[in-house]
Amino acid sequence: MTPGASNARPAPAAIEVHDARVRLGDTDVLRGVNLRVPMGQMVALIGPNGSGKTTLLRCLLGLQRLDAGNVRILGEPVGPKVLRRVGYVPQRLPLDPSFALCVREFLALRRPDTRLWFFRRTRATDDILLRHAPGLGMEPLLSRPLSGLSGGQLQRVLIAYSLLGDPELLLLDEPTAGVDTPGEQDFYQLIGDVHARLGITIVLVSHDLGMVFRRASWVYALNGVICCEGRPEEVINANSLKAAYGIHVTPYHHHHHSHAPVPPEGVPITLHRR
Amino acid sequence: MPDFLMEPFMQRALLMALALGPACGLLGVFVTARRMSFFSDTIAHSALTGVAAGFLAGFEDPTLPVLSFCIMVAVTMLWLRERTRLLNDTIMAVLLSVSVAMGVILLSLQRNRWAELDKYLLGDVLSVGWSDVAWAAAAAVAVTVAVLASLNPLALLAAHEDLAHVSGARVRLLNYGFVILLTLAVSLSIRALGILLVTSMVVLPPATARMLVHTLRAHVLLTVAFGLTGAVGGVLLSYPLNLPTGPTVTMTFGALFAASLLVARLRSPARP
């Protein structure tokens, strides 16, 4: 399906969520979420703690059942078949230090052509691993134990792992939790490079507003429902954040003194308030 | 060949050690990685109720009732973990204490069986029969085949359960399968090692090996080697030293652990 073809059907969205409702215990965590993420975008899903970010992510990954509504990813209902085309980068690995698993062994688990019986190490395996996760600095880490890595190194290993599955959609959960500030900047640079190089859809789930302002092309603010969505400079203004977070927030703009346009009043903000 | 090796009870004990030492170690790699040491302890303690209930129901050999009851407790544990918000530790402490209490009460109802309590708590290598050896051999084969065949998904599961699910692993099947194999190995090892010490055969070999290696491949191989050495070595030592077999096996594991700690410290003083 080429972009120029006039009567081609529109490409399916990377993510389509229709009226998703989830109740956990006594709480309605998702109260009718509607969301459409087009293919090839790098978007952010933001929201305060308890806003349902993690629950929505779990629905997308087939880890949480919906009470009502439906979710499609890459044009298909969530299931093992479509999940093969999805990369997931968790916040961290809750690894016990008593578990001996080195980076090479962990990465090799992602691909059938590197998954060797009893982790036999070969030159060919290393080549495949490095070829499919380039630019992530994996080579010096391959023989290191996973439990001895720094937060930033582990984060890169997790991205490499997800890229080894040749994903069309990459979901990152609070990707910079546990990474220091310079590490955080490197991290977003890296994700930006991955997006530019591979053109895949990337969804960053985060409560970190500064990152969203700089990196994402589109932002969804969640608080049980999608309170508002738009370009970062549109969503991140006091009013829409108030809608999302229920409190008054003054966003901190990093380019305060530059000539970057501060969002003018009256920018179109899509509001789905219920 | 020393005379004591000609004794049939000694041969049975050695075969048990040969089968269950490596199998328990193999499972132990993932038990320790997934912080499930207390889990195997709970299963072991629940065997007491299985023994007592078995006698009460008229079984002369309580292996089957023990296995069934332990698997029931293990599955209950998994089910409670999935369905409630209780912490793992809480669930296990509840099941452990209740099944020990129930076991002791059921035994106390059968005065003629009261002596069995010691046998099962501390192990009694003299009571190991050929049918126990056959069970142990079958369990060892099942554990080895299953673990080696699912080494990759098990490793992923130990690293991150949700990531394993997204990567296509059948998480629920693996969880239940692993726990049932662990229950099989632990409940069969009780005859020789006793309820109180059986967890040592699951936990000590992987802990000993972990101090010396950094890859899963090496960890698995070395753990199996330690499991074999400790179990067989302990049984062999117990006879000439005239010591109870179960505790001697555990002490052998303990000695290997201390030695490996020393080696690890000498190799790199900063670590463990």
Mark B198-216 as b/e (b = at least 16 C-beta within 10 Å).
bbbbbbbbbbbbbbbbbbb
As given in the structure block, the two tokens for residue B173 are 């099947």
Chain-chain contact of A96 with B35 (C-beta, under 8 angstroms): yes
Lowest average pLDDT, out of A59-68, B79-88, B147-156, B189-198, goes to B79-88
The pLDDT tens digits of the residues spanning B228-241 come to: 999 999 999 998 99
The pLDDT tens digits of the residues spanning B83-106 come to: 887 788 888 899 999 999 999 999
- pLDDT exceeds 90 at position B58: no
**B198 vs A54: CA distance, rounded Å:** 40
The pLDDT tens digits of the residues spanning B121-177 come to: 888 887 889 999 999 999 999 999 999 999 999 999 999 989 999 988 899 999 999
Residues of B with CB under 8 A from a CB of A: 32-35, 148, 151-152, 155-156, 158-160, 162-163, 165-168, 206-207, 209-210, 213-220
CA A24, A29, A34, A37 torsion-angle sign = negative
- Return the residue matching tokens 């070595």: B233
What ipTM does this complex have?
Answer: 0.85
A202 sits in which H/E element:
strand A201-206
Q: What is the pTM of this model?
A: 0.85
| Under 8 Å between Cβ of A100 and B219 | yes
pLDDT for residue A49: 81
- Cβ of residue A168 closer than 8 Å to a chain B Cβ: no
CATH no. for B3-267: 1.10.3470.10
Mark A43-69 as b/e (b = at least 16 C-beta within 10 Å).
bbbbbbeebbbbbbbbbbbbbbebeeb
Chain-chain contact of A110 with B206 (C-beta, under 8 angstroms): no
Residue among B203, B223, B221, B207 nearest B261 (CA):
B207
Lowest average pLDDT, out of A115-129, A232-246, B117-131, goes to A232-246
- pLDDT exceeds 90 at position A257: no
Question: Domain limits of chain B?
Answer: 3-267
When CB atoms are compared, the residue of A58, A102, A115 closest to B214 is A102
pLDDT for residue A219: 87
Q: Measure in Å the smallest separation between the Cα of B258 and chain A Cα atoms.
A: 16
Which has more pLDDT, A269 or A207? A207
Residue of A nearest to B170 (CA): A80
Tell me the mean pLDDT in the region A78-84: 90
When CB atoms are compared, the residue of A86, A88, A100 closest to B213 is A100
The DSSP secondary-structure symbol of B7 reads S
- Cβ of residue A96 closer than 8 Å to a chain B Cβ: yes
- Cβ of residue A95 closer than 8 Å to a chain B Cβ: yes
Chain-chain contact of A63 with B165 (C-beta, under 8 angstroms): yes
| Under 8 Å between Cβ of A145 and A102 | yes
pLDDT for residue A12: 78
